[in-house]
Amino acid sequence: MKTEYALLKDVYGYNDARIAEWALLAALDPKLENEVWNLAEPYDPQPPLRWPSTITAVDRVCKGFYGMTVISATKGTGKTMLARSSAIEAAASGKWQVVLFLAEDDYDGWRDGFNIYLNEYEHARECLQYLHVEQVGRNQTPDSLSLATLHRIDWSLDRPVLIVIDSINSVVNLSSGSYLHLLKDWGIWCMLARRLSRGRVSFMLTSEANRSGNAKGEGLPYWADVHLKMRKLTDRVVEIDLDKTRRTGGEGPLGKHKRAVGRGRFLTEDELYGERPLRVVGGNEDWDERGEEF
């Protein structure tokens, strides 16, 4: 007996976008039935569907972010910059349709960073066809964000869907009800939709870090396929740790990176000083204070 995913893909001819649509809605069902796997059936291995993280070390060891990716960061670390740059690259690749939900930054602040990135990387302009951005209002739910996604995506395209939420904590805080209960509902919805679709709908969530450095609420890292932790050391320098990768190796410290706002990326010392002369882009210096130690 074929799994429901296989029926949708092979029997009914659903493309990746239609499978993402089905999974988003199926994951909302309050009583989702068990699915029995027939291990005697032939298995066609499917590597995880990935998109660029924009962090060289992550792209090297994991070949990018995938599945349900959670970015846990302390205050002022630059998690919005990372989520924005990664979302732009996913859309610019032409392999993903991306819907980005913003719950913190305003239009001008976000567009400033967006324009800096597009001015710095010519290929990033290709994102405009597949990147959709919405500012989150009050009392949004997984149901309402599912519907918002359905209205943004071209379901005739055979491309998977990436949903970016920045940040999941602010989305929950904009709602009424128990914080931990609502956060669990969001996390379970993301995990189930990703699982049911086998990554045809994937998620990138930014989260505030608690005192231990994990995502607030603690559950998100357990449900995640990739958990990246960032800790602020100085105004410009962060320490990055690949805490978890479900299907790839490479877990462990990735070292110190500088938040190069003028390039829209986190860069190592070698990348900053060995790649090319630093310059001013859009009024933002590439932080060449060499007296500030890594």
Please give the residue range of the domain that contains residue 233. Answer: 16-30+48-285
What's 162's domain CATH number? 3.40.50.300
Written as tens digits, the pLDDT of the chain (294 aa) is 456 777 776 655 789 999 999 999 999 998 888 888 888 888 888 899 999 999 999 999 999 999 999 999 988 899 999 999 999 999 999 999 999 999 999 999 999 999 999 999 999 999 999 999 999 999 999 999 999 999 999 988 999 999 999 989 999 999 988 888 899 999 999 999 999 999 999 999 999 987 776 777 768 999 999 999 999 998 889 999 999 999 888 889 999 999 999 999 999 988 887 755 444 344 444 444 444 455
The residue behind tokens 């740790």 is: 241
Q: Is residue 248 part of a domain?
A: yes
Helix (H) or strand (E) holding 223: helix 219-223
Q: Is residue 269 part of a domain?
A: yes
Please provide the distance, in angstroms rounded to a whole number, between the alpha carbons at the two ends of the chain: 56
Q: Is residue 169 part of a domain?
A: yes
**Do residues 64 and 225 make contact, with C-beta atoms less than 8 angstroms apart?**
no
Bridge partners (DSSP) listed for residue 245: 226
HSE-up of 173 (CA within 13 Å, CB side)?
A: 11
DSSP at 215: B
Q: Is residue 291 part of a domain?
A: no
Do β-strands 252-260 and 265-267 pair in parallel, antiparallel, or remain unpaired? Answer: antiparallel
Query: ∠ at Cα 60 (264, 275), nearest 5°?
Result: 50
Helix (H) or strand (E) holding 258: strand 252-260
The pTM (predicted TM-score) of the whole model is: 0.89
Neighbours of 229 (CB within 10 A): 26
Question: Which tokens belong to 18?
Answer: 């239609």
Q: Is the dihedral of CA 126, 128, 130, 136 positive or negative?
A: positive
Q: How many domains does the chain have?
A: 1
The Cα-based distances of 104 to 85, 158, 174, 248, 249 in angstroms read: 16, 31, 10, 31, 32
Q: Is residue 8 part of a domain?
A: no
Q: Is residue 163 part of a domain?
A: yes
Q: Is residue 292 part of a domain?
A: no
Answer whether the bond into residue 167 is a cis peptide, omega within 30°.
Answer: yes
CA distance 186 to 101: 13
Q: Is residue 9 part of a domain?
A: no
